[in-house]
Amino acid sequence: MSLSTSKAAFQVLSRVVPQSGYNEPFVNTSQLRAKCMKKKSSMHRYFIESSSVFQSQSRPHRFPLTGVSFYDYKTYSHPWLQTCKCQKAENLSGITSNDVEKSNLVSNVMSAKSVVELQDVELLKQETEVLSSDVRNGTIAKSFDKISLNSIEDEAWDLLRESVVYYCGNPIGTIAAKDPNSSNVLNYDQVFIRDFIPSGIAFLLKGEYDIVRNFILYTLQLQSWEKTMDCHSPGQGLMPASFKVRTVPLDGDDSATEEVLDPDFGEAAIGRVAPVDSGLWWIILLRAYGKCSGDLSVQERVDVQTGIKMILKLCLADGFDMFPTLLVTDGSCMIDRRMGIHGHPLEIQALFYSALLCAREMLTPEDGSADLLRALNNRLVALSFHIREYYWIDLKRLNEIYRYKTEEYSYDAVNKFNIYPDQISPWLVEWMPNKGGYLIGNLQPAHMDFRFFSLGNLWSVVNSLATEEQSHAILDLIEAKWSDLVADMPLKICYPALEGQEWQIITGSDPKNTPWSYHNAGSWPSLLWQLTVACIKMNRPHIAAKTVEIAERRISRDKWPEYYDTKRSRFIGKQSQLYQTWSIAGYLVSKLLLADPSKANILITEEDSELANAFISANPRGKRGRKNMKQTYIV
Ligand code: GLC
């Protein structure tokens, strides 16, 4: 659907959708988002029926978005803000006093636990038994009864539920970290789109669909937010990195307050980076929601279909690039600060590929979408060819690069990107196992980033961007390099660390990204779930089971850290948050999937035979020629 067509569709809809339930959206939020309120041209605005439904505390989990009204923004002179008007401050989050009591008790128990040095899982179990008996004896208030502390898994569920964020009584996401003993929350008190994915999957696997549905629909509303940085705005379709539910006084009524959703598109983020991965993850979660719940009505909605198309348009827009991979800035994904991954980082390419596949599956056929679908299909073929062919590295390929001729000017060049063999670092010569291989981190003219990035590799297994052979080789490499990648806590975000002058130049001497810490080869338990899905897909779940076992030895005792430091992940990260939600949710998803591996299908995309055939005929290894390439997939 073209932009003008979609706008027309909204105008038609605004005529047919009854508007009686619509609430005046003009709240004075100028203090709150003064910089973001400048009027800029946007395609459309959505307004959500607000207080009349939201105020109903008796139906706290009913999602109020069923009657979304669409308005042409031009009819309004005030900035748009997603709001819900609530009568009383204490009811704002939709949490009852009983819930607050319960939540305080959980926090108390967590802080009580923090002073106890638990030696191992057995000790934890003993402690939880003591706590349970306290509960039975009434030492701990009755409201705590329901909270089971019988195992690490139970504790994880309790913590995950504790992290749920409510918007006008409806669960809409999970906070990034919730350490009751920390005052240094930075922006970890927000709902991050990428962080919510494992939370959402955990809830889906548990049969709790509402929170995921709400998350999908509310974040969709934020997509069309006006976002600017110093008078410049990024493309329509960008999803925020995170959002926060804020409580603000209701204009003209001292006794009442309202909740507003306040997104961050990078305009407040450290480093001001646009989160390219958010929209891609959103599409992946949308498909998972439909597959798991069987409710396809969400993905079929006009606004959701438009949301998908807006993300695709942003990603498929023509630019100057010669490569089919997505060109992005440093820090535009999970690694959200400078780590030398600008260009065509593998993580973004893997998510992009998934998003294209998932979108193709969900887009409803209509006249206006033929061009988009054609562009999408062409990109899928070109992208999989490019990654499989040029990002792949194993011992054999490394030897080929080692013997590369350079400065080849011709259509038939073997060394297309003019890679100088001297780029092969000594660590790699030693590190590459005889059996196994991986997709490199990035490819640019005259530059291959040989670092191993876990998420990009695992997700390329999950979505079949890597061939079956390559996928097995990636898991072989993880097994062969166990002490480097898994060590004492799964999983290294990348390997190896940038050190010395390289660290100074590439990270800008970033004290948070010192060698073997944080993004610079720190270990992230949140990556457990992606590893688990990849292992299940390749029918090698025992690898994931082993990593989960390793994590269980200390993750709860260490209070669910965000990341670990040192080469062997022995220390809790220097600046690591504790009770990090995606560490908790990632663990839970792994447990749930290992218990029922068939459920991993909601995340997996199998090799598409048409794509595979297109890939085979486009493969220049058989015939390296410009003509051949043109005939096969450039449309
Ligand atoms: C850090 C991580 C990022 C994550 C955020 C919230 O900024 O780098 O990936 O989304 O924290 O947990």
User: How many Å lie between the centroid of ligand 1 and the Cα of residue 336?
Assistant: 7
Contact of 267 with 36, CB cutoff 8 Å:
yes
pLDDT of res. 407:
80
Contact of 583 with 525, CB cutoff 8 Å:
yes
pLDDT of res. 185:
77
Mutate to test the pocket of ligand 1, among 243, 336, 580 (most ligand atoms within 8 A of CB): 336
User: How many Å lie between the centroid of ligand 1 and the Cα of residue 626?
Assistant: 42
Tell me the mean pLDDT in the region 214-224.
92
Residues 450-487 have pLDDT tens digits of: 999 999 999 999 999 999 999 999 999 999 999 999 99
pLDDT of res. 508:
95
Nearest to 316 by CA among 380, 273, 410: 380
User: How many Å lie between the centroid of ligand 1 and the Cα of residue 490?
Assistant: 17
The angle that helices 541-552 and 581-595 make with each other, rounded to 10 degrees, is: 140
Q: Is the CB of 336 under 6 A from ligand 1?
A: yes
Q: Is the CB of 309 under 6 A from ligand 1?
A: no
User: How many Å lie between the centroid of ligand 1 and the Cα of residue 505?
Assistant: 22
Q: Is the CB of 195 under 6 A from ligand 1?
A: yes
Q: Is the CB of 158 under 6 A from ligand 1?
A: no
- Nearest-atom index, ligand 1, CA of 580: 12
Can you spell out the DSSP letters for 263-309?
EESSSSSTT----HHHHHHHHHHHHHHHHHH---HHHHSHHHHHHHH
pLDDT of res. 266:
72
Contact of 588 with 156, CB cutoff 8 Å:
yes
* Lowest mean per-residue pLDDT among 163-177, 271-285, 586-600: 271-285
* Rounded Cα distance, 416 and 541, in Å: 38
* Rounded Cα distance, 28 and 81, in Å: 9
Mutate to test the pocket of ligand 1, among 194, 199, 576, 579 (most ligand atoms within 8 A of CB): 194
Assessment of whether the complete model's pTM goes beyond 0.85: no
Look at ligand 1, atom 11, and give the residue with the nearest C-alpha: 188
41 pLDDT above the threshold of 50: no
- Nearest-atom index, ligand 1, CA of 562: 12
Can you spell out the DSSP letters for 546-570?
HHHHHHHTTTTTTT--S-EETTTT-
187 pLDDT above the threshold of 70: yes
User: How many Å lie between the centroid of ligand 1 and the Cα of residue 396?
Assistant: 36
User: How many Å lie between the centroid of ligand 1 and the Cα of residue 334?
Assistant: 6
pLDDT of res. 252:
78
Q: What domains are defined for the chain?
A: 164-605 (1.50.10.10)
Q: Where are the beta strands (DSSP E) in 344-446?
A: 392-394, 437-444
413 pLDDT above the threshold of 90: no
Q: Is the CB of 518 under 6 A from ligand 1?
A: no
Nearest to 248 by CA among 238, 262, 237, 258: 258
* Rounded Cα distance, 370 and 2, in Å: 11
Mutate to test the pocket of ligand 1, among 175, 185, 195, 523 (most ligand atoms within 8 A of CB): 195
Cα three-residue angle 61-66-68, rounded to 5 degrees: 125
Contact of 523 with 563, CB cutoff 8 Å:
yes
377 pLDDT above the threshold of 90: yes
Residue 258, CA atoms < 13 Å, CB-side half-sphere: 24
User: How many Å lie between the centroid of ligand 1 and the Cα of residue 349?
Assistant: 19
21 pLDDT above the threshold of 80: no
pLDDT of res. 430:
94
- Nearest-atom index, ligand 1, CA of 582: 12
User: How many Å lie between the centroid of ligand 1 and the Cα of residue 185?
Assistant: 12
* Rounded Cα distance, 81 and 260, in Å: 7
Q: Give the model's confidence band at 64: pLDDT under 50 very low, under 70 low, under 90 confident, else very high.
A: very low
User: How many Å lie between the centroid of ligand 1 and the Cα of residue 238?
Assistant: 18
- Nearest-atom index, ligand 1, CA of 336: 8
* Rounded Cα distance, 404 and 420, in Å: 7
39 pLDDT above the threshold of 90: no
33 pLDDT above the threshold of 70: no
pLDDT of res. 406:
82
- Is the bond preceding 496 in cis, omega lying within 30 degrees of 0? yes
Contacts 24+ apart (CB under 8 A), 296-299: 298/213, 298/216, 298/217, 299/362
* Rounded Cα distance, 605 and 464, in Å: 6
Share of the chain above pLDDT 70, in %: 71
Please list the residues that pair with 433 across neighbouring strands. Answer: none
* Rounded Cα distance, 212 and 223, in Å: 17
Residues 82-122 have pLDDT tens digits of: 556 543 333 323 333 333 333 443 343 333 333 333 334 34
DSSP 389: I
Nearest to 561 by CA among 594, 518, 510: 518
| Burial of residue 349 (number of CB atoms within 10 Å: 0-12, 13-18, 19+) | buried
Can you spell out the DSSP letters for 115-158?
TS---SHHHHHHHHHHHHHHHHTTSS-GGGTT---SSHHHHHHH
Nearest to 454 by CA among 524, 390, 384: 524
Token readout for 216 is 């999908």
pLDDT of res. 254:
80
Q: Give the model's confidence band at 610: pLDDT under 50 very low, under 70 low, under 90 confident, else very high.
A: confident
- Nearest-atom index, ligand 1, CA of 334: 9
Residue ranges of alpha helices (H) inside 163-296 are 193-205, 210-223, 276-293
* Lowest mean per-residue pLDDT among 152-156, 175-179, 614-618: 614-618
CA distances from 465 to 351, 607, 627 (A): 10, 8, 25
pLDDT of res. 365:
87
Q: Give the model's confidence band at 230: pLDDT under 50 very low, under 70 low, under 90 confident, else very high.
A: low
Q: Is the CB of 176 under 6 A from ligand 1?
A: yes
User: How many Å lie between the centroid of ligand 1 and the Cα of residue 570?
Assistant: 21
The single-letter code of the amino acid at 62 is: R
350 pLDDT above the threshold of 90: yes
User: How many Å lie between the centroid of ligand 1 and the Cα of residue 19?
Assistant: 39
* Rounded Cα distance, 147 and 135, in Å: 10
User: How many Å lie between the centroid of ligand 1 and the Cα of residue 131?
Assistant: 33
Q: Is the CB of 179 under 6 A from ligand 1?
A: no
User: How many Å lie between the centroid of ligand 1 and the Cα of residue 242?
Assistant: 10
pLDDT of res. 446:
83
User: How many Å lie between the centroid of ligand 1 and the Cα of residue 383?
Assistant: 27
Place of tokens 């006009």: 302
Q: Is the CB of 49 under 6 A from ligand 1?
A: no
Residues 158-185 have pLDDT tens digits of: 999 999 999 999 999 999 999 888 877 7
Q: Is the CB of 194 under 6 A from ligand 1?
A: yes
244 pLDDT above the threshold of 70: yes
- Nearest-atom index, ligand 1, CA of 333: 9
38 pLDDT above the threshold of 60: no
Residues 136-147 have pLDDT tens digits of: 444 444 444 334
User: How many Å lie between the centroid of ligand 1 and the Cα of residue 262?
Assistant: 18
Query: What value does the CA radius of gyration of the chain take, rounded to a whole number of Å?
Result: 25
Q: Give the model's confidence band at 416: pLDDT under 50 very low, under 70 low, under 90 confident, else very high.
A: confident
Name residues whose C-beta falls within 8 Å of residue 137's C-beta, 6 or more positions apart in sequence. Answer: none
Q: Is the CB of 281 under 6 A from ligand 1?
A: no
Cα three-residue angle 404-408-409, rounded to 5 degrees: 165
Q: Is the CB of 388 under 6 A from ligand 1?
A: no
559 pLDDT above the threshold of 90: yes
